[in-house]
A and B are shown apart, each in its own frame.
Chain A
Amino acid sequence: MSAIATVPERGAWARLGTNMRRHKMASLGAGLVIAVALSAIFAPWLSPHDPYEQDVLLRLAGPSSDFPLGNDDFGRDILSRILWGGRVSLVVGTSAVLLAIMIGGVLGMLAGYIGGVFDRVVMGAMDVLLSFPALVMGLLVVAMLGPTVGNLILAITLTAIAPFARIARAPTLVVKERDFVEAGRALGFSNLRIMAVHILPNIIDEILVMASLWLATAIRTEASLSFIGLGVRPPTATWGGMIREGFENILDSPWLALFPSLAILVIMLGLNMLGDGLRDATDPRLRHE
């Protein structure tokens, strides 16, 4: 029975992969995201200099062969700081989005599946969460609990739970009425199994699209909080923090703010292209099978 050994257990991922390859935008976006992620992950090896090493003589020096993106107010290497700063942005962003998917996605699926009073209570709570603008929620949490990486993740997670609950609930409402769910019940499957094995693969596409778009939002929120001084404390390098520092010298040395801004631009562009491409790839009206 060697034919069976190669039978794939799941098809949702494989199908997504095939569709992705057909969409150049999504692939380009994915490429940008992967490039930024790799450069952040391998920052300790890629950085030409120590991101914390100060050199008064190089204060506000322009780009040179040794320091391709120039030096900041303390003479630190901007390229190295951007590479290291990406780590904070990506760790905060991905952790917050993953947590939000786990909490919000599960709550939304349960609300849609169970319905009734539970649905109304959960979605009511989500509406309350949604009424806080992301930045206000960030200010609130960080001001109360202190500017640590953990609290930044908490703050951004809190703002992202409600959108994920909504995006998971709506298709669950539709899918749970489909005949194969009834057929699953007739096969004795538990509610947990029906949700995890039969409904989840049918709604995962929409959650993934949302995840890539929300990762961009999360990174932007983190940068915004750092920019107004509520991010991870200096001297840790963060993109938002670097822009703020660069702002003080924007007329003399524009590259201080420019290069970290470009880093944010690249990751945002990549994530949005990926998200749009994913949405097209998973849209049944655009899908050619």
Chain B
Amino acid sequence: MSERGAEPALVVENLTTEFRIGGTWYPAVRGVGFALGRNETLALVGESGCGKSITALSIIGLVPRANGRVSSGRVLLDGRDLLALDEREMEKVRGNRISMIFQEPMTSLNPVLPVGFQVAEALRYHTDLSPSAARARALELLEHVKIPSAARRFGDYPHQFSGGMRQRVMIAVALACGPEVLLADEPTTALDVTIQAQVLALLAELKASDGMAMIFITHNLGVVASIADRVAVMYAGDIVELASVDELFANPTHPYTEALLRSIPRVDRDALDLRPIPGQVPPITAMPAGCRYADRCPLKIARCSVETPPLAPVPGLRGHHARCWVRTGDGAGAEAA
């Protein structure tokens, strides 16, 4: 049984998701891979459009079919490849073993159905609970996510709740079936700062009590510091740096991570210290060869615009990986050879 504890809850291998634009397929997520341990929170960080939400949608199998596809990779939940499941089997996994909460609590609940119904619905759909047992459990869940006087508010509609309370309801819905993995796609971005802190505290508490793994997508590094165990920094569809949260903040290795950290306003530093990253993320249809960050990178060497660097261990730092020819030392070694 000790082996089981060490086994990761979710393994993503070489995940590539493409979108069709004007008849050509372009990768929005390129060969992303990571392992997520039980009771671990992995933060996916990056600018808008870097592929963090697409990674989550690929894991849960909700990449829009009309113009998107997962073209390679495996997503292993308890050793079973979710990408190989057909839609029917995947429906049994979604909301049951992997759940997702979204950015917009104001619109993610159905406005014409009472919140209690919406929590109970997931339970009744995935379990054999009787209607009354499902409602009793739904009420427990609403109390679990700390909705005040939950019994009285059970039959209320979403418009009668504030944004923070709605996000709590969404969390209750997502947790209804006790999932192993929770995908949280910027769950606090649309909330006030004070409410943000409450929801983050709630998520951390629930994770500890329910022992689930969480992928937390955000562009807010402050949130990362408070909730994550490990961090994957994404840039233009690649993971460019993967490290534990303490490591990442102590020893940012990839130049993009460094630049991200420098671009956070801080009270204890001079405003002049705040440096935006020059240039822009290359568009998906015009990705440069080699390292995708090369054009914006102050450390750029000739090799960067020719060969794509691998996500390699950073010398001297345990469990710390970065995708940079200059910083991983691999570049120097390869050049010497």
Chain A residues with Cβ below 8 Å from B95 are 186-189
Chain B residues with Cβ below 8 Å from A202 are 110-112
Q: Do A187 and B94 touch (CB < 8 A)?
A: yes
Chain A residues with Cβ below 8 Å from B122 are 187
Chain A residues with Cβ below 8 Å from B113 are 10-11, 197-198, 201
Distance, CA A289 to CA B117, complexed state (A): 20
Q: Does B144 contact A (CB under 8 A)?
A: no
Distance, CA A7 to CA B121, complexed state (A): 14
> How many A-B residue contacts, CB cutoff 8 Å?
96
Chain A residues with Cβ below 8 Å from B139 are 1, 4
Contact of B107 among A8, A9, A116, A179 (CB under 8 A): A179
1/0 per residue, CB under 8 A from A, across B311-333: the answer is 00000000000000000000000
In the complex with contacts A1-B139, A179-B108, A186-B99, A7-B159 CB distance below 8 A: no
**What distance in Å separates the Cβ of A89 from its nearest Cβ neighbour in chain B?**
33
Closest residue on chain A to residue B160 by CB atoms: A289
Interface centre among A11, A15, A116, A190 (most CB of B within 10 A): A11
Distance, CA A6 to CA B114, complexed state (A): 13
Closest residue on chain B to residue A7 by CB atoms: B155
**What distance in Å separates the Cβ of A37 from its nearest Cβ neighbour in chain B?**
28
**What distance in Å separates the Cβ of B82 from its nearest Cβ neighbour in chain A?**
12
Q: Does B69 contact A (CB under 8 A)?
A: no
Chain A residues with Cβ below 8 Å from B111 are 180, 202
Q: Does A183 contact B (CB under 8 A)?
A: yes
Chain A residues with Cβ below 8 Å from B66 are 116
Interface centre among B62, B102, B111, B112 (most CB of A within 10 A): B112
Q: Do B102 and A179 touch (CB < 8 A)?
A: yes
Q: Do B110 and A180 touch (CB < 8 A)?
A: yes
Chain B residues with Cβ below 8 Å from A7 are 114, 116-117, 135, 154-155
Closest residue on chain B to residue A8 by CB atoms: B155
Contact of B159 among A186, A198, A289 (CB under 8 A): A289
Q: Do B62 and A188 touch (CB < 8 A)?
A: no
Q: Does A288 contact B (CB under 8 A)?
A: no
Q: Does A182 contact B (CB under 8 A)?
A: yes
Chain A residues with Cβ below 8 Å from B199 are none
Q: Do B151 and A186 touch (CB < 8 A)?
A: no
Distance, CA A184 to CA B174, complexed state (A): 10
Q: Does B100 contact A (CB under 8 A)?
A: yes
In the complex with contacts A4-B154, A7-B155, A11-B157, A188-B96 CB distance below 8 A: yes
Q: Does B258 contact A (CB under 8 A)?
A: no
Q: Do A193 and B125 touch (CB < 8 A)?
A: yes
**What distance in Å separates the Cβ of A3 from its nearest Cβ neighbour in chain B?**
4
In the complex with contacts A3-B151, A3-B152, A182-B62, A189-B125 CB distance below 8 A: yes
Interface residues of A in 1-23 (CB under 8 A from B): 1, 3-12, 15
Q: Which 5 A-B pairs have the closest CB atoms?
A: A187-B95, A188-B94, A188-B95, A179-B107, A186-B100
B contact set with A: CB distance below 8 Å: 60, 62, 66, 90-96, 99-100, 102, 104, 107-114, 116-117, 121-122, 125-126, 132, 135-136, 139, 151-152, 154-155, 157, 159, 170, 173-174
Beyond A7-B155, A9-B117, 4 additional contacts (C-beta under 8 Å) are A1-B135, A179-B102, A182-B108, A202-B112
